[in-house]
Amino acid sequence: MMERRKFFRIVFRVPATIRQGCISWSSRIFDLSLKGALLEVPIDWKLGNEDDYSIQFQLNESDIYIDMDLKLIKECGKYLRFKIDHIDIDSASHLKRLIELNVGNDVLLHRELAQLTDMKDIL
């Protein structure tokens, strides 16, 4: 089977908070990429919708939080697949560094960053 993903995913298991308006849910991140995130379906989750979501999580052993605005792409059993819709510059820098440390390949990381900026031109 041909791999369709354009962005390298890293396994990153940390607690996260999903928010939509004034509602929030406790969840857990399973993996991250420069383009999206896979999270655990919260216990009190109702079917998702097309409205914007935001997530926040803390980097391990630090006081750094990453905040992202997301679109729900798919609910799949016990997983929620999100696409990053917006991320502030500080959070983007931290996410880039996190992926850089886990990818271990500078060439691959720069290729993914180039794809990400090319995709923004299309959208």
27 near 18, Cβ under 8 Å?
yes
Residues contacting residue 64 through CB under 8 Å, at least 6 positions apart: 58, 94
pLDDT tens profile 23-53: 999 999 998 888 889 999 999 888 778 789 9
Write out the two tokens for 118. Answer: 């090319």
Q: What is the pTM of this model?
A: 0.73
Nearest CA among 94, 101, 68, 65 for reference residue 83: 68
Residue with the bigger pLDDT between 116 and 69: it is 69
pLDDT tens profile 91-110: 988 888 887 777 665 555 55
